[in-house]
Structure formats: C-alpha cells, structure tokens
Amino acid sequence: MSESNDNGNVAGVSTPGWEVEIPVEELDRSCQAPIMLMLWKAAGWLFLGACFALLNSVRFHAPDLLAHCPWLSYGRIAPAASVAFVYGFALQAALAVALWLIVRLGKSTLAEPGYALLGAGFWNLGVFIAFIGILAGDSTGYALFDLPKYAVPILYVAYLVLAGLGLTTFLRRQVRKLYVSQWYLLAALVWFPWILATASLLLQHFPVRGVTQIAISGWYATGLSNIVLGGIALATIFYLIPKLLKRPLHSEGMAIFAFWLFIFFGSGAGVLSGSTVPAWVSSLSAVFAFFTCLAGVLVGLNLFQTIGGDWNKLLGSDLRFVSLGAVAFIASVILGALNAHSSIAEITQFTLVLPALQQLALGGFVMMTLIGGAYYLLQNIGGSEEGNGLVGLHFWVALVGVGLTVAVLGLGGLIQGQTMADASIPFNAVTKSALNFLRMETVGSLFLFAGSVLFLVNVGRIGLKTLCCCPCGWLIVGGDVTDEYESEEDGEDGEDEEDSDSVASSETKKAAKKVTRKKVASKKKAASKKKSAKKAAKK
C-alpha cells in the first residue's frame, strides 16, 4: 500500500541533478497554451457533434426534414456527428488530458509546447477535412472509422507530433517510478498510430477482400474506444480519485493485473458483427469481452477499496464527473461481456442496444471522465473559480442526457429485438416498436446538446479569463515571462496548489517543497511589482 502511496517522489528528488523540483505552477504553465487550445477546440467539436446528433434525432419525428440537401441527409449526418464527437472531442480532449497527466506525473515540463500547438492545429484541420469530406459523401462506410482517405495522413501526422511530445516528456520525467495512470497513458499513446495505420492501409490503400474488412474495422473501433480513449480515461480516473480523496491507491498488484488484462483483451472485446464473420471471431471476441469485464471489475474493486467509504466526497465538485465515468466504465464492460454471449446477442444484435452500449462507453465513461479531467486541469492551469455554478449544472444536465439516452435506447433495443425475433410480427411493427423509443431519445439528445453548450461556455469563460490575464502566457510558452499569470493565481488557488501535485505526499517531498515554495514566493513578489508598474503605465 505504501509503495503506491509515495508515487516516486523520493526517486524524483534523489535523481542526480534534480535537487530542486520544478514547481507545479511551472509544470502547468509549460503545457497551458496547447492544452487550453485543444480543450477549447474539443468543446467546439462536442457542440457541433451534439447539434448534428440532435438534428438526426429530430428526424425520427419529421423524416422529411432538410431532405432536399444531400449534405445534410441522415446517413451523412450520422457519421459526421460521430467523427466530430470521437475525433474532434473525445480524442482531442483525451490527448490534452494525457499531456497534462504526463507532465504532472513525471514532473517535467512539456517538451516543445510550440510544436504541441502546431500538432493541435493540424489535428483540428484533419478533423475538419474529415467532417466536410463525409458531408460531401466521402464517408468510408465503416463505423468509427469514418475518416476519408485524404484526412487520415493529416490526422496521423498531428497525432504523431502530439503523442511524440507526450512520449518525449514521459522519457524526460524526473520521477522514475511509474504510476498506474502512466501505464495506461503509454499504452494509449502508442496504440492509436498502430491501429490507424493498419486500418487505413488495409481498408483504404490496399483494401483487403470481403469480410476481412469487417474484422479489421471492428478491431480498429474496439481498440480506439477501449484502449485509446478508455485507457486515457482510466488514467484520469486513477489519477484523480486517489489524489482528491487524499488516499493512496489500495493495491498496486491488483492494478497491474487489471492493466495487463485490459491491454491484452480490451482490443478484441467487441468485434461482434453478426453471422457473417467467421464464428471463431465472435467466440474469441466473447472470451476477450469476459476478460475485459474481469479487468473492469478489478479496477472497480481497487477503486472501491481506495474510496473506503468516502462516498460523499465523490459527489464533490471536482470528482463527480470522474466518479460517474468510473461507474459507467464498470457498467459498460459488464454489459459488454453479457452482450457478447451468443444467447443474448441473438436478441440484441442489429437493435438499438448497440448504440445504447456505445453511448454508455463513449458518452458515459469516456466523455464524463474527460470532462471531469478537463474541468480539474482547467481549474489548475486556467484558474477558474471554485464552486462554479455552471459546472454543477453541466454535471446534472450531462448525467440526465447520458442516462436517458442509454436507458431509452437500451430498453427500446430489447423490445425491438424481441419483436424482431418473432417472424410472425411484420417488420413494420418492429420498426414502430423501436420508433417510440427513438423519439423519446430526442429528449436525451436535447440534454446532451445543452450539456455541450455548457461545456463550451465553461471552457470558453476560463479560456477568456486566462487569455485576458496573461497574453504573454499564450505567446511565449514555458518561458519565465508568464510570471504575471502567477500573481493572478496567488489569491485564489495558492492553497490548492500546495497539495495538488501528486497522489500522496512523503517527508522528502515536503522538504523539497519548502525550497521551491520560497522560490515561488520570491518570484511572485517580483511579478506583482511588474504588474503594478504595468497598471500604472496603462493609466
């Protein structure tokens, strides 16, 4: 227990040449600009995706809505909304959170923040091109791999830049001991280029024949949602829950076991595409789903023991998004394993249960966790005020949105599956049974849309505040010109920063901190002098 507790702070201090730790403020500042840019863009994509999802949901009430515009037809909006959500929001926010976690956990400043900005810019360019391409009719026809051929290289390069900077920062870490979150981050960072290259080469450049395409696109989709997005979300959960509860992680051994289970089996847990792929693929996938479920249960037990009865803290403003994400994760792996069982799959296959499970995994687990991580890191690097009412509102709106869509689609899917299994019921009646639920789901989509607006507003407000407070911080990143920002932070989060650094504290760390604190204090004095001089000049 104590091993996981100190999280390598001892090692960090004793590494030769690093007698003095880099203060948390400096760590945060080094990655401030790219991370804020990425989160701001991610919020924008989330909003756009939610708009489009809402539009498609309304179509179940009015099927002829905007029918004359081919660019806005149902079958183009659906993949476009998915790309905006998965690549624009989820993966971008995941990368932002991942970079921050790498910086914080390794206690080294972000390598080349300028290139990170460039990478983020390229990423958004790639997503934008993919988005427009799909609307123009260039979708691939594979679920979750809806990237037109020409958008993939841009996204690939952008990802390599961002992940490469993350890995460089990781290698430069001052704390040599690795924490659970870092395992998941490393896996996620290296996994995506591998599956994207495979999928793009074998589906777009040298297309394989027949149903092998389905196996590959299914493998890609599972790897993306489980290992890449899920891995970064789990890293966030493992970082924030022990840290904010100020309790050490219960068992590192359990975490190690769960990690390897998840990494080895998570990438094949959902490749279930019906009777047409060979039976062994589905069977293998069901076995993988079982082991992924086991990993999820172990993660859940570990967190349960870590929380140790501090349940009320989980609903606190910092943790509620992340704790909800953790609950959704465990629910989604358990339901995923159940759904992989052939007797259940027989009913649920081709029904709304599938989007319900996807919503639980990507909306409940990944989105909620990343939003929680984003709010927490913005609070640290962007200096938002405590107890922000809109963040609280966002939580409840998002909770209702995700809960409603998952419940309605899941229930509707089960009923749809039951009626579909009875050949004496005409297919029109099957569609009708599903239609009522699809119409109810519009309310959920409306809540999700409202949630995305609130996220945009919240991130925007914090961004604007930071932008106004320290324009230099945006231009010259990681330099010491950003002192001004620090003085702004002084009153608000100064206290918070003291213990925010890592999962737990140790004696040596405290000693090291005293040194750094003095330095920071002297810096702050200098900064406030500068600031008052500037104010005088303005007048």
Partner 1 sequence: MNNGLLLFFGIVVAMVSSWFGFVHSPQLQFGTLVPEVDEASGATFPSPRSGAAIRGLDIYRQNGCASCHTQQVRQESYDFTVEISDYGDNTDQVAELLATYSSNYEAGSELPALPFNVVEGVDLGTANRIVKKISATEAAVMAQIVPHGPDIERGWGIRRTVGADYLLDKPVMLGNQRIGPDLANIGNRNPDANWHYVHLFQPRKAVEDSVMPSYPFLFDRIPVNGKPDVKALRLKGELVTDAEGRQIIPRAAAKDLVAYLLSLRLDTTLFEAPGLVVASDEESEATDVEDEAASQ
Residues 58-87 contacting partner 1, CB under 8 A = 59-60, 63-65, 67-70, 73-76, 78-79
Other Cβ atoms less than 10 A from the Cβ of 533: the count is 10
Options 205, 209, 538, 539; binder of partner 1; rule CB under 8 A: 209
Say how far residue 218 (Cα) sits from the centre of its chain.
20
Minimum distance from residue 246 beta carbon to partner 1 (Å)? 23
Confirm if 406 and 363 have CB atoms less than 8 A apart. yes
Residues 102-121, mask of contacts with partner 1 (x by CB under 8 A) = --------------------
Minimum distance from residue 112 beta carbon to partner 1 (Å)? 20
Which residue, 44 or 218, has its beta carbon nearer to partner 1?
Answer: 218
Q: Which of residues 412-431 bind partner 1 (CB under 8 A)?
A: 416, 420-423, 427-428, 430-431
Other Cβ atoms less than 10 A from the Cβ of 246: the count is 12
User: By CB under 8 A, how many residues form the interface with partner 1?
Assistant: 87
Options 34, 88, 126, 218; binder of partner 1; rule CB under 8 A: 218
Q: Which residues contact 505 (CB under 8 A, 6 or more apart)?
A: 9, 499
Q: Which of residues 325-354 bind partner 1 (CB under 8 A)?
A: 346, 349-352, 354
Which of 256, 305, 308, 249 lies closest to 5 in space, CA to CA? 249
177 makes contact with partner 1 (CB under 8 A): yes
Confirm if 72 and 51 have CB atoms less than 8 A apart. no
Question: What backbone phi and psi angles, to 5 degrees, belong to 350?
Answer: 65, 15
Residues 125-144, mask of contacts with partner 1 (x by CB under 8 A) = ------------xxxxxxx-
Options 2, 16, 17, 210; binder of partner 1; rule CB under 8 A: 210
Which residue, 35 or 186, has its beta carbon nearer to partner 1?
Answer: 186
197 makes contact with partner 1 (CB under 8 A): no
312 makes contact with partner 1 (CB under 8 A): no
* Residue listed under structure tokens 């919240």: 458
438 makes contact with partner 1 (CB under 8 A): yes
Computed over its alpha carbons, how large is the radius of gyration of the chain? 24
342 vs 515: CA distance, rounded Å: 61
522 vs 481: CA distance, rounded Å: 15
Q: Which of residues 258-277 bind partner 1 (CB under 8 A)?
A: 260, 263-264, 267-268, 271, 273-277
Options 14, 114, 176, 392; binder of partner 1; rule CB under 8 A: 176
Which residue, 217 or 482, has its beta carbon nearer to partner 1?
Answer: 217
Options 161, 186, 371, 450; binder of partner 1; rule CB under 8 A: 186
Tokens of residue 304, six digits: 């349960």
Confirm if 99 and 478 have CB atoms less than 8 A apart. no
Which of 303, 380, 305 lies closest to 27 in space, CA to CA? 380
Which residue, 73 or 505, has its beta carbon nearer to partner 1?
Answer: 73
Options 96, 281, 470, 503; binder of partner 1; rule CB under 8 A: 281
DSSP helix/strand/coil, 172: coil
Helix axes 368-381, 483-499, angle to 10 degrees: 120
494 vs 492: CA distance, rounded Å: 6
Which residue, 381 or 438, has its beta carbon nearer to partner 1?
Answer: 438
- Indicate left, alpha or beta for 175 from its phi (over 0: left) and psi (-120 to 50: alpha): beta
Residues in the chain: 539
Q: How far apart are the first and last CA of the chain?
A: 57
Q: Which of residues 475-514 bind partner 1 (CB under 8 A)?
A: none
Minimum distance from residue 451 beta carbon to partner 1 (Å)? 24
231 vs 379: CA distance, rounded Å: 23
**Segment interacting with partner 1, rule: CB under 8 A, options 15-23, 24-32, 185-193, 237-245:** 185-193
Minimum distance from residue 269 beta carbon to partner 1 (Å)? 10
Q: Which of residues 7-36 bind partner 1 (CB under 8 A)?
A: 8
192 makes contact with partner 1 (CB under 8 A): no
190 makes contact with partner 1 (CB under 8 A): yes
171 makes contact with partner 1 (CB under 8 A): yes
Helix axes 320-340, 368-381, angle to 10 degrees: 160
Q: Which of residues 450-469 bind partner 1 (CB under 8 A)?
A: none
